[in-house]
Amino acid sequence: MATDMKRVLDTLGIATDQINPGISTGLEFFIGEGQPIESFSPVDGASIASIGTAGANDYSVMMKKAHDAYEKWRLVPAPRRGEIVRQLGDEFRKYKNELGMLVSYEMGKSYQEGLGEVQEMIDICDFAVGLSRQLYGLTMHSERPLHRMYEQWHPLGVVGIITAFNFPVAVWSWNTAIAWVCGNVTIWKPSEKTPLCSLACQRITARVFERNEVPEGVSCIINGDYRIGEWLTSDSRIPLISATGSVRMGKMVGTAVAQRLGRALLELGGNNAIIVTEHANLNLAIRGVLFGAVGTAGQRCTTTRRIIVHESVYDDFKQRLANAYTQLKIGNPLDPTIHVGPLIDKQAVNNYLQAIEKARAEGATFVVEGGVLEGTGFSSGCYVKPCIAEVENSYSIVQSETFAPILYMIKYHSLEEAIAMQNNVPQGLSSAIFTNHLMEAEKFLSTQGSDCGIANVNIGTSGAEIGGAFGGEKETGGGRESGSDAWKQYMRRQTNTINYGSSLPLAQGIEFAF
């Protein structure tokens, strides 16, 4: 491990010579009863550090502290809760470089993307501060004289958060910053592949909470395997589970939560497409496709997986895109000149190789060949070549999501055909069109157009801003996180009617005399 990384870990409160606590209820940190897990970096294959995991007793203790904290935290005025979140945003600003470097080293995304992920945390804290003064309801006119109706919003209680490895800190912050200003407390189950990021976030949060005398249990983390997720999803004391991950995982979470009539906010897979029309600025489109397809080594839920190109510009675009791929630099993501880092682990590499073989077996022709990189700088075995395959949209492999830098290229004749191909997959997260033609852009955004939760014009499928609600349709789960009115998912709506008269008229003119 490089000296700089050792300094980063020390700064973030992560020990490399002993087991780190994997459970925290705020200011208190515990090793836990479970077997420790080791965090390995896909950058060089090195063991970074060990972290504790929870047993059933640890879970029970944490849940009690979370519920006790909720009884106090919900009574803190929302603007005061927002002020504490504002301070947390400032604390993340102080540690942006170090936390961004840890994200890059533990997960494998480029350092620039690691910094961008921490910036998302800062941005959502800023957003939540303003939101803390805008948790508004509506006033309605009653049909009964001398009556007033209105609605108000109350916190839910304990919010469970399950996150994936690809955004090991940002997705947690999207949920917690909003949940906290709404008056909830949170329990975070991070990915087993990136446990140190959760510990670093909790160390930073604890400093802010201690200064502000925030009750123990408002911010909880609990590291461990799939059993932790099962405890959370089946626990009726948790009214909302926000889960990010695969469609397979989401179906299990959704089923378990539905059985107890709880709420599930699901952010699942994407099979995102970009349509490039004959009226597109091809230089702009190349940039959008390139980052969308290879950013985070293809391990974003918003990664561009399909590119649907009009037949009149298809050959030109293919040549330009293939040339752009030759200029990509693959290697250590902490090097600022590198575009593409490693996949998260060797299982991800196997999935990548299997997808390539399936595509080839179905008839794909590779414009840019893939493969695993070996030799100096690639010792972890997790570095692969981003590739491009010419396919038909109907191929079974194209209908599924492979978390890797594989881009499928498809030719189309009419815009209606392109939109139909884009929509004809089980997933519905992000989509984009590159065109300078107003009618094409508007049609893409209309009810006849994209069926995705995100639809962009002249930008790629990746890189959503926190001001808009993030999420998708169909097998993507239907959840919405981050901006706009996504806060309503973390609260319960209550309708109130007040009679300030001296009689008791009934609604709908019902007479009830006695």
Half-sphere exposure of 466 (CA within 13 A, CB side): 24
3-state secondary structure of 205: helix
Q: Which pair of tokens denotes residue 28?
A: 């208190």
Q: Which pair of tokens denotes residue 31?
A: 């090793």
User: Which parts of the chain sit beneath pLDDT 50?
Assistant: none
CA-CA-CA-CA dihedral for 287, 483, 233, 158, to nearest 10 = 150
Token pair 């959704």 is at which residue? 254
pLDDT value of residue 90:
98
Residue (of 434, 403, 437, 422) closest to 472 by Cα position: 422
Cα separation values, 286 from 322, 370, 389, Å: 10, 19, 16
CA dihedral sign of residues 470, 473, 475, 478: positive
Distance separating alpha carbons of residues 490 and 101, to the nearest angstrom: 31
Distance separating alpha carbons of residues 309 and 292, to the nearest angstrom: 15
Distance separating alpha carbons of residues 110 and 93, to the nearest angstrom: 19
pLDDT value of residue 1:
60
3-state secondary structure of 276: strand
Cα separation values, 141 from 134, 149, 153, 498, Å: 22, 6, 18, 11
**454-457/430-434 β-pairing:** parallel
Residue (of 138, 126, 136, 192) closest to 162 by Cα position: 192
Q: pTM of the full predicted structure?
A: 0.97
Q: Which pair of tokens denotes residue 396?
A: 């079974």
Residues classed as catalytic:
267, 301
Classify residue 265 by its DSSP letter. E
